[in-house]
Structures are given as C-alpha cells and as structure tokens.
Amino acid sequence: MRPTVTQIRQLEADEFAAAGELGRLAFGGAPAAAPAIPAVPETPTAAPATPVPPPSGLTRYGAFDVDGRLVGKAVDLHHEQWWAGRRVVAADVAGVAVLPEARGRGVARSLLQELLRGAHAREAAVSALYPTVTEPYRRSGWEVTGALRAIDLPTVALPRPRPAPDLSVRPGGPEDLPAVADLYERIARHRSGLLTRRGGLFDQDPTPGALPDGVDGLTLVEQGGHLVGYASWERGRGYDQHAVLTVRDVLATTPEAARELVGVLASWHSVTPTVRLWPLAHDAIAAQLPLDQARQHEQRVWMHRPVDVARAVTSRGWPVQVRGRVEFALTDDVAPWNSGNWRLEVDGGSAELHRITEQPPLVLSVRGFALLYTGAANAYATVEAGLLHCPAGTDPGGLDLLGTAPRAELLDYF
C-alpha cells in the first residue's frame, strides 16, 4: 500500500487557502467568499503585489501525499500560559484536520509529532488543546485535564445592585481595553494555565478603535480612578423568555467590585431572563453567584501535555512554601527527549528537574505527568488510571509534589 504521507512540513503562504478549505470542510465552516472580480489594471505592467508575510504567532503544518496533495494540517499557536506568577511558553494546538480519504492511517499522529518537534525547537514548554475527539491526542501524549464551562443563570436570581459609595460604574470603550487587559493579568498571573493574552495573535488587533468582535458592551467598576472589575458582554437578540445576555469575561479584584458587577448583570432581568457566563473556579465573581441555580449550557474539555518536561518544571512558578524532591522515570514515545529518569526538586518558589542514572521505582507516563502537573489528579488517582506504575508497597504520594500549585484553568477557547 502506498504510504499516505510522504512529507510533513511547515506550510508556505500560497498553501494557506488549501489548508483553510481542508479546515472548512472538516469543521463545517462558512464557504469562502467568492473573490471579488479584479478590475482590469490600467497598465498591464503593474508591479506584482508584494507577497503577504505569514501572520506571526502561529506555525501551520501540512501533511502531503506522494502526489503532493495536502492531506492534513495542524496549527501551533504561539501562546504563553501563566503558571503561579510566571509566563510559560506554550504550543497550543488548533485546526487539526485530515482529508476524509486519508483518515485512520496515522496522518494526525505524524502531524502532531512534527508539531511537537517544532515546538520543542522554538523552546515551548507545554501544550493545550480543545479536542473534538480525545483518542488521537491521548495516543500522542495529551490527557484531559479540565473543561471550559458555560453556565446559564436565571438573571432574576442574581443579587440585586447595592451601589458601594466608594466605587463608580461606567460603560467602557476601546480606550479602556489596555486597563482591562492589565486587570485580567492581575487575576490570571497567580493562577495556573490561563493564557497571558499577550504576544503573537493577541497583539494583532482585528478591530482597531472598536470593542472586540462579539462584544457589544463593556461595564467597568473603578475605585479611586483605578479599574477593579469589568464585564464584557454581548446583548443577544430580543427580550422574550429566550433572551440571553452573554458575558464573555467578568472579573473583579475585590468582593465589593464583584458585587457591583453582578448587580449590574442582575439589572438585565427585565429583558434577558438568562445570563450566560464562563466563571473562573472560586474567584471574586463566583463567590457572588447563586451557583445552586446554574445550569451547564456547554462544556468543552481541554487537554494538556508537556512539550519539554524540564522546561515545564523550571519555567513556571511554584508555591513558595513547598519544599521537596521526588524521583521518577518518565515515558514519552512521541517526544522521546522527555523520556528518562528524573529528580524533581522544589524549593522557595522554583523547581529543577535533573536527569539521574538510577532507575526509580515510580514510572510515570507523559499523560500521567499532565494530570499531576495541572493538578487535575493526585498520584493515587493517576496510579488507578494506569498512568503511573509503582511496585507493590511503594507509596506514589511523593509525586503529588508535581501538582502542588492551584488546579489549572483555561478561559479562552482556541
């Protein structure tokens, strides 16, 4: 049988359209708009258009068959994630699609392997993705470690506004977006896994001088002229029982600001009986919400894996009070540079991962590493899941050291 794929490489700019079409077919995107009929140039000798440089902030990979046909694609998004106060370079994966006729032959696996090699070469440490199907990614070392949940709340159940004397509330505009980004950062930086929303594609403002697509309004809460809370929202249509106010982001740095914001959302009860939002777990806003009345509107699980385990450990922050060391062997067939015997040492807010020669009793798979690193599971649960092997009588608990920071979360879908 002829090999399905003979080449995996980065796409050239003139191949982007073909990749876009592959993605459109795979995910059911809107047909590409018919290209405008170009006006006949006055002077046929017009200089050729200067080639458009590929946008920075992502790397597109393509898989080609023996006839040079594009049969698969995958995108490495050049993100950064916050991990306990430090920014960690991430190779987040999106747009994985294989031609139907080429599926089930290892194309996706080869693409993901090449993407990991490229990400390793550009010094990425971790990788997250939102799967439409988990198995192909589990086979390549990612594990399910969390979910982005949209919840619906009856607007009438939200606590009514009780304006605080020292806070002011006002509508925001595009000029307030830098302050909004700073407030997001103040909240995200101490957590684990949240995107920094800076650099790469985030620096390319698709709507200069306007609010981002899908945002009709921005509600700001200020104290002494400083931003202490914001909500970005989409009004939706109508005002009958089906009307929904969709809150893209709602964050606050104080309980008073959170109460003020939730009060503003409550004021929509007469026209939008439902408020839809994606709350962080256990933040100032969540503490104000009647979560007993929440209904899950949508859940998108996300998966995580280390691209480079040593970098994933050294480039992130660790809880300063945590101190310890543990030895383990790691297995990672798809990214063999991660495999080997390691000693993890955590102390004073930093950590190191050293290669060792001795064979430790604890043998951790890269999927098990993802579970522990993101705080999604502890060592015993990872053993039960078959992703950590330890001889009878050996206590795996030492590997809980890997998951001592807050459980990882994601607020952005990609």
Ligand X SMILES: CC(C)(COP(=O)(O)OP(=O)(O)OC[C@H]1O[C@@H](n2cnc3c(N)ncnc32)[C@H](O)[C@@H]1OP(=O)(O)O)[C@@H](O)C(=O)NCCC(=O)NCCS
* Helix, coil or strand: residue 358: coil
Residue 105 or 248 having the CB closest to ligand X: 105
B/e letters for 31-62, b = 16+ CB within 10 Å, e = fewer, are: eeeeeeeeeeeeeeeeeeeeeeeeeeebbbbb
User: Could you say whether residue 105 binds ligand X (CB under 6 A)?
Assistant: yes
Residue 106 or 317 having the CB closest to ligand X: 106
Residue 5 or 88 having the CB closest to ligand X: 5
User: Could you say whether residue 132 binds ligand X (CB under 6 A)?
Assistant: yes
User: Could you say whether residue 106 binds ligand X (CB under 6 A)?
Assistant: yes
Residue 131 or 349 having the CB closest to ligand X: 131
Separation in Å, CA 299 to CA 104, 105, 226, 290: 27, 30, 34, 19
User: Could you say whether residue 5 binds ligand X (CB under 6 A)?
Assistant: no
User: Could you say whether residue 26 binds ligand X (CB under 6 A)?
Assistant: yes
Q: Among 33-41, 131-139, 293-301, 403-411, which window interacts with ligand X (CB under 6 A)?
A: 131-139
User: Could you say whether residue 3 binds ligand X (CB under 6 A)?
Assistant: no
Give CA torsion, residues 24, 28, 34, 35, to 10 deg: -20
User: Could you say whether residue 136 binds ligand X (CB under 6 A)?
Assistant: yes
**Nearest alpha carbon to residue 218 among 180, 161, 178:** 180
User: Could you say whether residue 97 binds ligand X (CB under 6 A)?
Assistant: yes
Q: Least CB distance from residue 147 to ligand X, whole Å?
A: 15
User: Could you say whether residue 14 binds ligand X (CB under 6 A)?
Assistant: no
Give the single-character DSSP code of 13.
G
Q: Least CB distance from residue 104 to ligand X, whole Å?
A: 5
Residue 20 or 406 having the CB closest to ligand X: 20
Using CA atoms, how far apart are residues 33 and 42, in angstroms rounded to an integer?
A: 25
User: Could you say whether residue 389 binds ligand X (CB under 6 A)?
Assistant: no
Using CA atoms, how far apart are residues 414 and 411, in angstroms rounded to an integer?
A: 10
Residues 356-375 that bind ligand X (CB under 6 A): none
B/e letters for 362-400, b = 16+ CB within 10 Å, e = fewer, are: bbbbbbbbbbbbbbbbbbeebbeeebbbbeeeeebebbb
Interface ranges with ligand X (CB under 6 A): 26, 96-98, 103-109, 131-133, 135-136, 139
